[in-house]
Chains A and B, each alone.
Chain A
Amino acid sequence: MTHSSLDPAAARDARPESFPHAATGALANQQVRANIRHATTTIRRKRAGVVAEVPDWELLRSAGSAIKDETLASLDAVLIELEASVQAAGGTVHWARDAAEANEIVVGLVQAEGADEVVKVKSLATDEIRLNEALEGAGIRPIETDLAELIVQLAGERPSHLLVPAIHKNRVEIRDLFRDRFGLPDLSDDPAELAEAARLHLREAFLRARVAVSGANFAAADTGTICVVESEGNGRMCTTLPDVLITVMGIEKAIPRFRDLEVFLQLLPRSSTGERMNPYTSLWTGVREGDGPQTFHLVLLDAGRTRVLADPAGRPALRCIRCSACINVCPVYRQTGGHAYHSPYAGPIGAILAPQLAGETGAVASLPFASSLCGACYDVCPVLIDIPSILVHERGKAVARERSGIEGRSLKMLGKAFATRAGYERAQRLGRQLQRPIARDGWLTHFPPGPLGAWGRSRDLPALPAQTFREWWESRDDRA
């Protein structure tokens, strides 16, 4: 593979736009919508099947939710215990306040090893902090080894789904991409053959890799054990063969006890890929002489998580175990796909988590409105996150912010004026005077150009009547 194929393409660096804007473009792409509909329908059926066969599913959901709440309520203590356990097992722990600091730490560790490439396990945390761009900027080549991440990387795009970042692409599109990038003109669109092509392509990278970067699904504070759940074996390769392993993990991924895996290793695979268990789960504790990487770094990432933690109503979003069940059932996601969310966290969970992590600024601030509040996400969430309620809470915050604009200030003044009967009637009389130039046939239609016009023209506004009911009542002839 040439280095140029890894260059960020235009699609990857597209300027974020608000959800309604981005969704309009996404809705026009019939192929993507068909691909996503097909894939999510398949996975929903599988999930429903394997969840139904677990008699204590609801008890497991309650336990998973409670373990996460327990962790969050004493997150400082859990993190300190995790740090001590990892250090005791021979690992090194780093703390990163934000994306820039995390990238700086990882780039520094890779450079200290003198490596010019790293193999990567699929990791949402590193997608979130855009680690690949930071590595490329430092002359280090990141090699994505998860099949879907590889597809996205080869296409120069961004992930569109938590679990299956290339869900927006069908087998024919993937075949064409592999034919082009791997120089295999005769490749068929049989998924098994496509997977074989990826195996051959990445084999050499695994065998020569000296440094790997992973995320973490869970980290047990009592034993210092990190858990990565995967299907293909690329996670095992990355966490086993290289000399140095760097794991970047959001601080909310910590769990108090190794034992708690007995709950999450039931909830996650069934909710995520609709399997009783995913093919491979890797659990490692620091370093082990003679087995696997002899240097282990754990980077604990805040990057907005403490901001989410600070809002008791939004806090449950941090329970998320990134299964993507909510995405697969979401009627909005099924229409727009993941790219419209402009965040690695798409779908319902993205609509609450992305704006919270970003401090409700930028394009992702529009995401809480990207929902019909149907509640399907809450029904499937394995850790009982009440996504609809948090969406409403986030909408409330957005509306409160808008109150500082011209519209908000004007409405506040009106509120004061309407607070007394005398004030209300004065405002009515004044309104009748002021509306004359813009009222026609009982409607306010002839707005002047400018902000008021832009506001008014998008609304059907009836004109104030010449006489109010009270005025008529006072003036009627047959008064006794």
Chain B
Amino acid sequence: MTTGREAILARVRASLADDPPHVVPPRNYRLRGERDRAAVIELFVERVRDYEATVVVADDPGAAVASALEAAGVRRVGIAPDLDRRLRPSGVELIEDHGLGSRDLDALDGAVTTCASACAETGTIAIDGGPGQGRRALSLVPDLHVCVVRAGAIVETVPELIAALEPSAREGRPIVLVSGPSATSDIELTRVEGVHGPRRLVVIVAT
């Protein structure tokens, strides 16, 4: 008996009997942006705000995290065990995630993480489980996500973002791209913020 694998591969080869030409994809689209650093950061802030997220540009990200949590009125906040000391505010109960269960995560009011890189044109932050970012569930289940973005980690275009993330993919790290808070357009194609992911996203740009 042939297996599905052999059968499908044989079908594919038979289907390509006309020997279609090998195509080399043109890469003549924009591979990097042309804005200067200040303009890239400005664009990032503008684009993230477009998604109804809160954006704060701060030279003291620790203080910005503290005031964001205070403004949100949260008490119990999840963090990765390796989150930088300076990003741990004192006014709230911080719970380090050493493999919290889904229900424990659901009982948290919010989470504070860093990110791997970010893209200005699309207002995207990328999380790859690196230092301070925790595992994926940490920034997913609680209803508030406060994310600290180093200004230096912001690139302008999508090709630059994907290039920055490729080493993580090769290491087998899971990656999540976040562009604004959870939303749906499923009712009359009207965008509504807030379904299953964090309904509030606060992005702190650390300059």
Instruction: Give bound CA distance, A101 to B2, whole Å.
Output: 13
Please report which residues of chain A, range 45-63, place their CB below 8 angstroms from some CB of chain B when the two chains form the complex.
55-56, 59-60, 62-63
User: Which single member of A63, A151, A223, A302 contacts B170 (CB below 8 Å)?
Assistant: A223
Q: Does A95 have its Cβ within 8 Å of any Cβ on chain B? A: yes
Min Cβ gap A233→B in Å is 3
Contact B184 A231 (CB under 8 A): yes
Given contacts A55-B30, A232-B184, A258-B162, contact A95 B4 (CB under 8 A): yes
Interface pairs A-B: 4 shortest CB-CB: A233-B197, A233-B196, A95-B4, A310-B15
Q: Kindly identify which residue among A97, A164, A281 contacts B7, using a CB–CB cutoff of 8 Å.
A: A97
Are B3 and A75 in contact, with the CB atoms below 8 A? no
A241 touches B137 (CB 8 A): yes
Please tell me if the beta carbons of A291 and B5 are within 8 angstroms of each other in the complex.
Answer: no
B123 nearest CB across to chain A (Å): 7
Query: Are the CB atoms of B183 and A59 closer together than 8 Å?
Result: no
Residues of chain B with a CB closer than 8 A to A233's CB: 140, 182, 195-198
Does B14 count as interface, using CB distance less than 8 angstroms? Answer: yes
Cβ of B90 within 8 Å of any chain A Cβ, yes or no, is no
Q: Which residues of A contact B (CB under 8 A)?
A: 35, 38-40, 42-43, 55-56, 59-60, 62-63, 66-67, 69-70, 72-76, 79-80, 83, 89-90, 94-97, 101, 145-148, 151, 164, 166-167, 170-171, 174, 191-192, 194-196, 198-199, 202-203, 206-208, 220, 223, 225, 231-234, 236-237, 240-241, 251, 258-263, 265-266, 269, 273, 275-286, 288, 290-292, 300, 302, 306-307, 309-310, 312, 315
Confirm or deny: B172 has a beta carbon within 8 angstroms of a beta carbon on chain A.
yes
Known: A72-B20, A191-B187, A273-B185. A234 touches B123 (CB 8 A): no
Inter-chain contacts of B186 with A (CB < 8 A) = 146-148, 151, 164, 166, 232
Does A282 contact B176, Cβ atoms closer than 8 Å?
A: yes
Q: Which chain B residues have a beta carbon within 8 Å of chain A's beta carbons?
A: 3-5, 7-9, 11-18, 20-30, 47, 50-51, 99, 102-103, 106, 119, 121-124, 129, 135-137, 140-141, 158-159, 161-163, 165-166, 169-170, 172-198
Question: Do B122 and A276 have beta carbons less than 8 Å apart?
Answer: yes
A/B interface sample: 16 pairs, CB < 8 A: A55-B30, A56-B29, A67-B25, A79-B8, A89-B172, A95-B4, A164-B189, A170-B188, A192-B193, A194-B187, A241-B141, A265-B162, A279-B180, A282-B174, A290-B99, A291-B174
**B3 cross-chain contacts in A, Cβ below 8 A:** 95
Q: Determine whether the beta carbon of B136 is less than 8 Å from that of A292.
A: yes
- Is A275 a contact of B179 with CB atoms below 8 Å? yes
B137 to chain A, nearest CB (A): 5
A151–B159 Cα gap in the complex (Å)?
Answer: 36
User: Among the listed B14, B106, B121, B169, which residue makes an inter-chain contact with A283, where contact means beta carbons less than 8 Å apart?
Assistant: B169
**Cβ-closest chain B residue relative to A198:** B195
Give the CA-CA distance A273 to B191 in the complex, in Å.
9
Task: Give the docked Cα–Cα distance between A94 and B186 (Å).
Answer: 32
- Cβ of A302 and Cβ of B174 under 8 Å apart? no
* Complex partner residue of B8 from A67, A203, A302, CB under 8 angstroms: A302
